[in-house]
Amino acid sequence: MTDRATRCARRARALTALVIMLAPCSLAAEPTGAVPAALRRPFVSLHPTALIRLGHTADWVAVTSDAVWVGSTGPNAVHRIDPGSNRRIATVRLPGEPCAGLAVGFGSLWVPLCAPVPVLARVDLATNRLAAVLKPGPAAAEGGIAASADSLWLVTDKQGTFARIDPASGRVRQTVRLPPGAFNPVYSEGVLWVSRVAGSELLAVDAATGALLASAPTGPAPRFLTAGGGAVWTLNQGDGSLSRIDRATHLATARTLLGTPGHGGDIAYDAGTVWTTFAGVPLTATDATTGTVRRQWYGPGGDSLGIGHGAIWLTDYHQGTIARIPLAAASAP
């Protein structure tokens, strides 16, 4: 064996030893594989009970006890849908594009807006009117906002400034420094979970103090996230996978390949199922206990969703519509 070959062999043995040493830590987060063809169905096999056109595009969904709110461009607005009649009953025009996830809290709908100067819109849920336009606004499109027990939380720049906002005055009460590339928060049981798309990790922040509690690895480029079933789930744009992070231990316990990499998408949890959407793959249902895909529907449509009133409310971004799909039909074997 030549000196060069000897060096290569030693490097190979060292790499093998390193892989073996790291395997127990990463084994739980390995993806389970692509979606089998037997589990895939054409999206046209699902039959919406309502289809409502909203604008040139439709994106971002928030569900309340008596309404479904959806953002649009052309016009820049949010629309209130009555789930009892499946009719749009209000349109609230906005001074910018609703470009990030919505939040409901403190009697209002909170809408991050992309504009020459990004701002935050507050829509009064009682009057269906624009009540205030606040600063600061979102750091980037495809971000989000979260409402905790006493505050709103919004990442306001690409350096990771996480602002705690007083919902009554609109003033920033506290700022928390997160690693750059963290944009999307969700609140669950006293903790704010923030996905870091630039770092392939999920951050846990104490909602009472703003202290950074932990970080957990995810699949590449985690963006949208939801909480439920004792876990936080991230939809990873880098490889189209779904990561499960245990809420109690902060450990990554599963990763499932959905075959939906790329820009956009959305995620929601309901009754033991994680629902995701992506343009061209409008709906995927994943078992929250086993981390395996139950069913996936492919075809035109998709990009954002919300769950409530016995239905999945699913947008078709490019057609500017939202469809009401009965949960029972989508959940059937």
When pLDDT is averaged across residues 195-219 and rounded to a whole number, the result is 96
203 has pLDDT over 70: yes
pLDDT mean over 108-131: 97
Confidence of residue 17 (pLDDT cuts 50, 70, 90): very low
- Give tens-digit pLDDT for 55-78: 999 999 999 999 999 999 999 999
Task: Name the strands in the sheet holding 321-326, side by side, starting at the edge strand that comes first in the sequence.
Answer: 50-53, 321-326, 311-316, 305-308
Q: Tokens 């027990």 label which residue?
A: 149
Q: Average of pLDDT values for 143-157?
A: 97
Rounded distance between C-alpha atoms, residue 226 and residue 306, angstroms: 11
Model confidence pLDDT, tens digit, residues 287-304:
999 999 999 999 999 999
* Residue 50 scores a pLDDT above 60: yes
Sequence spans of domains, the chain: 48-331
Neighbours of 216 (CB within 10 A): 21
What is the helix (H) or strand (E) element at residue 12, kind and residue range?
helix 3-26
Taking the alpha carbons of 67, 307, 85, 50 in that order, is the dihedral positive or negative? positive
DSSP 219: S
Q: Can you give the pTM of this predicted structure?
A: 0.89
Q: Is 331 helix (H, G, I), strand (E, B) or coil?
A: helix
DSSP E strands: which ranges in 24-171?
40-42, 50-53, 57-63, 68-73, 77-82, 87-93, 97-98, 103-105, 108-114, 119-124, 129-134, 145-147, 152-155, 161-165
Q: Determine the Cα–Cα distance for residues 186 and 317; give it in Å rounded to an integer.
A: 22
Question: In the chain, what percentage of residues exceed pLDDT 90?
Answer: 89
Does residue 262 surpass a pLDDT of 80? yes
Q: What average pLDDT is seen over the chain? A: 91
Tokens 């705690």 belong to: 164
What are the distances in angstroms from CA 112 to CA 55, 93, 154, 179, 242? 18, 13, 9, 21, 25
Please name the amino acid found at residue 209: T
pLDDT value, residue 333: 82
Retrieve residue 238's tokens.
């880098």
Q: What is the DSSP string of 51-62?
A: EEE-SSEEEEEE
pLDDT above 50 (res 5): no
Total Cβ atoms within 10 A of residue 308:
19
Q: What is the mean pLDDT of residues 208-230?
A: 97
Percentage of the chain with pLDDT > 70?
90
User: What is the CB neighbour count within 10 angstroms for residue 178?
Assistant: 21
Quote the distance between the C-alpha of residue 209 and its chain's center: 24
- What phi and psi values does residue 308 have, to the nearest 5 degrees? 170, 160
Question: Distance between CA atoms of 287 and 51, rounded to whole angstroms?
Answer: 27
**pLDDT class of 34 with cuts at 50, 70, 90:** confident
Give the pLDDT band of residue 31 (cuts 50, 70, 90).
low
Q: Which DSSP category does 13 fall into?
A: H
**Which stretch of DSSP H or E encloses residue 296?**
strand 293-298
Cα dihedral sign for 106, 67, 121, 203? positive
Tens of pLDDT along 156-182? 999 999 999 999 999 999 999 999 999
Q: Are 175 and 157 in contact (CB under 8 A)?
A: no
What is the architecture of the domain spanning 48-331?
7 Propeller (2.130)
pLDDT of 236 over the 90 cut: yes
Helix and strand totals (H; E) in the chain: 2, 30
DSSP conformation class of 299: S
